[in-house]
Every structure is written in structure tokens, then in C-alpha cells.
Structure 1
Amino acid sequence: MQLRSPAFESMGPIPRAYTCEGDDTSPPLEWSDVPAGTLSFALLVQDPDAPDPAAPRRIWVHWIVVDLPPDLRALPAGASAKLPPGARHGKNDWNRAAWGGPCPPIGRHRYFFALYALDTRLDALHAPTRAELEGAVAGHILARAELIGTYEKQLASRRAG
């Protein structure tokens, strides 16, 4: 399975529009080569570099989506505001059920977008945390695809002459 975004290249910078310094909307995503038997998809977006890439202390969850339909092959920009029918948000580390874009306090962070093709639906999960999602998908992953983007905040000193 392959995961990509028309908004940024793998290991490339995530455009500002999708961050806390922009519109903070979810970026567009596209996937292909889905395995036979896929009954749903789950999406997990995490930053393993929090709070400082030089001394990371935790993984920060930016977005969780479960029960994306099996025939779906893309999410448009801003899909967090209106998920496809049947899909649901999980709870991110801002304690909300929606996209929370990159907003690193220091340095350039990496953002891992992981898409799981599952042989089941996750109907029992209503607004899952990362731990709940990971527990529910264990033993049900047919394929996993990953896309990594980066982001570093623009500094006020860079904008000042």
C-alpha cells in the first residue's frame, strides 16, 4: 500500500496552511495498492520529536480517524471538518477529536502519517486514544503505509528586518 500527499513530498516540509501558523486544516492524502479484504482504514498522525527534536520526551498525537470506508482512496484538504460517512475522529493530544496541525515549540519536527488497511471495522471505538486504537487494530492489519512530513515554525526574528 502506498500513501502520499499532493501537498508535500515524503520527508519534505508540510505547507504552512496545514499548521497552527496557517489555517490548521488537514492536508490532502491519497493512497493506492490496497490489499484485498480491506474492510476499513484507520489513520494515525504523530510527532515523535516532542517537545524538542534534540531531546524528545513523548509522541504527540495530531490526528486519529477510524472506519474510513474500504473503497475510499483519498481525503481532500480540510477533510477533518467533514469526514466521509461512517468515519470518526479519535482524540488527539490537544484533547479534541479533529486534526491538530503541526505546531512545534522548537526545531524541525517529523510528522508520521500512518494509514492502516484493516480486515475489520472498529465500531466499538467512538473517540479512541492512540492506545485504544493500537489495541483495537492489533491482529487486524492487512497493510500499513507511511508518509513523513516535516515542519519548523517561522520565527518572529526571521520576519523582522
Structure 2
Amino acid sequence: MNDPYARLPEAATFTVTSTTLTDGAPLGAAQYSGLFGVPGGKDVSPQLTWTGAPEGTRSYAVTVYDPDAPTGSGFWHWAVAGLPATTTSLPENAGDATGTGLPEGAFQLPNDARLSRFVGAAPPAGHGEHRYVITVYALDTEDLGVPADGTPAYLGFTMASHTLGRATLTAIGETPAN
């Protein structure tokens, strides 16, 4: 299956874990999208903790991306930039509409639904499993210069030359039975 990082510059790896999700396991109901009409979906961003970032890390960014969305370009569910280097975790639901769970200086970019918040999974009926790739990027700069209204793709383009390390966790989702 397609690897969203296959053509990016190599980067060190470090570890991201979650009390909400398990790598390779199904999403919880709260990580599905009520905004997109999934019954029981709550659009709650997962709790994340990371360790072992490379020396020289000056900030972090976090993205949640579905490379299996039937769009030709995937679907960005969440993008956060400006996380200080002292940040090593985000609480569950940090990606709510106000971003109150984010540390000072961090901001949410509009996702592919054009909402500056976490939007949960909503794969189309009959489309099968989708991968939700959660990535924490260790960056060599405090400020990427990406505006708060920039797109996640622009964030990714800008980060490519500033990424020291990448930590990923992939959860699985498919349309829940009604």
C-alpha cells in the first residue's frame, strides 16, 4: 500500500504512543466523525505522547492523514504546528474547535473539511478499511512560517526540509454498521 513518506527526505525515527489508540488497531467510536454524520462519532482527537526525539529539535508538528480516502490525494483530518520543543504530549480532545488543549504558541490549520480542528474518520460505506496515519514531526526550527490558514499539504511541503525525525502511529477505520 502507498507510503505517504516514501518520497520525503529520510528522517530519524522516534516513538509516539497513545492511551486512546493502539498502533494497527481499530479506531474508537470517539475518533469517528459526528460532524460527517457517523453515528456515535465525536470528532475527539487522540491522546498522544512522544519520546526519543532527535537532538536539536526546536519544535513539533502533528498531522492525521488518511491516504486511503477516495480523493486521489487522501484526506487531512488534523494538522497542528508551532508545538514548543518542551511539549511531549497532547491530551485527548486537544483538537477541539477551540484548541484549548494545545500549548501556547501552537495552532491548528484548516483540514480538508476547511475546519481548524480535528475531524474524525468517516470512510464511505463499502470502501473498506482506511489507515489513519498519525505523525509527530520533530523540527529544526521554532517557526516554519506557515500561516494559520495554510493547508496541511503546505505545512508538509514546508516541513520537508526541516524534519529531523518522524514518529508514526497508524489506526484503522471503516464505516461502522448503522
- Fold equivalence (TM over 0.5): yes
Higher helix share: 1
Q: CA RMSD of the aligned region, Å? A: 1.4
1:152 corresponding residue in structure 2:
174
Amino acid at match of 2:146: L
Structure 1 segment 1-161 matched on structure 2, within 5 A: 1-20=14-33, 21-51=40-70, 57-81=72-96, 82=100, 83-106=102-125, 107-122=128-143, 124-127=145-148, 128-156=150-178
Amino acid at match of 1:7: T
Deviation per CA, 1:119-138, whole angstroms, max 9, x where unpaired?
10235222221221122212
TM-score for both structures, normalised by structure 1: 0.88
Paired-residue identity, %: 38
Deviating 4+ runs (over 6 angstroms): none
Rounded Cα–Cα distance in structure 2 between residues aligned with 1:28 and 1:148? 13
Q: Which runs of 5 or more structure 1 residues have no equivalent in the other structure?
A: 157-161
Rounded Cα–Cα distance in structure 2 between residues aligned with 1:79 and 1:33? 22
Higher strand share: 1
TM-score for both structures, normalised by structure 2: 0.80
Q: Which runs of 5 or more structure 2 residues have no equivalent in the other structure?
A: 1-13, 34-39
Deviation per CA, 1:19-63, whole angstroms, max 9, x where unpaired?
113221111011000112111001111101112xxxx73310000
Contact 2:76 2:152 in 1 (8 A): yes
2:11 corresponding residue in structure 1:
none
